[in-house]
Amino acid sequence: MSGKGPAKAGGPQGQAAATLIRTPYKPRIAFIAAGVLLATTTYVWADHFVFSKVFFVPEWAKPLPAAHWFPSYMAGVALLPAVVLPRDVSGAVKAAAGSLVLAPVGALAAHWEKWESGNHLVANAAFNFAWIALWYCLPAATVLLATRAIVDALRSKRG
């Protein structure tokens, strides 16, 4: 015994595992991870994210509750790094907000050439940017951030 106090439970391996699990990721890394996932998701599934009067739900999404909201489900999965990785709720909010700004980029890039050029192009892009971010991604982000806040509050009461 070195006399420096009681030994930590689990020794150095236990400390390393605890450090690995609790590594405080910067919101910037979480923002980049979630932003890339979300932009890629909106690019691959662009037809389902941009505004359309006709909306087809893919076969794999039909068993989901409220299947017409499947783009929000996909956005929620893509936003998980932004909500889970930051050290606290304020970091998660920053990362999620930044990711919401990047979310429509993929769908807009996929549809840019399909839209008519001219005066309507900018208006259509602006409308779809807001549509994707506010209609599909914001509800998913709100649910995830509320869940994160509740979990953090319960953890702080315990510990």
Secondary structure (DSSP) of 49-102? HS--S-----GGGTTSTTGGGHHHHHHHHHHHHHHHSBSSHHHHHHHHHHHHHH
Q: How far apart are alpha carbons 106 and 100 in whole angstroms?
A: 12
Buried b (16+ CB within 10 A) or exposed e, 67-97: eebbbbbbbbebbebbbbbbeebebbbbbbe
Give pLDDT, residue 148: 95
158 exposed, middle or buried (CB, 10 Å; 0-12, 13-18, 19+)?
exposed
Contact 106, 42 (CB under 8 A): yes
> What pTM, to 2 d.p., does this model score?
0.75
Give pLDDT, residue 21: 44
Q: How far apart are alpha carbons 24 and 60 in whole angstroms?
A: 36
Residues 6+ apart with CB under 8 A from 63: none
Give pLDDT, residue 5: 45
pLDDT tens by residue, the chain, 159 residues? 444 444 444 455 444 434 334 445 567 888 889 989 999 999 888 888 888 777 789 999 999 999 989 999 999 999 999 999 998 999 999 999 999 988 888 888 887 777 666 667 777 888 888 898 899 999 999 999 999 999 999 999 886
- Identity (one letter) of the amino acid at 58? P
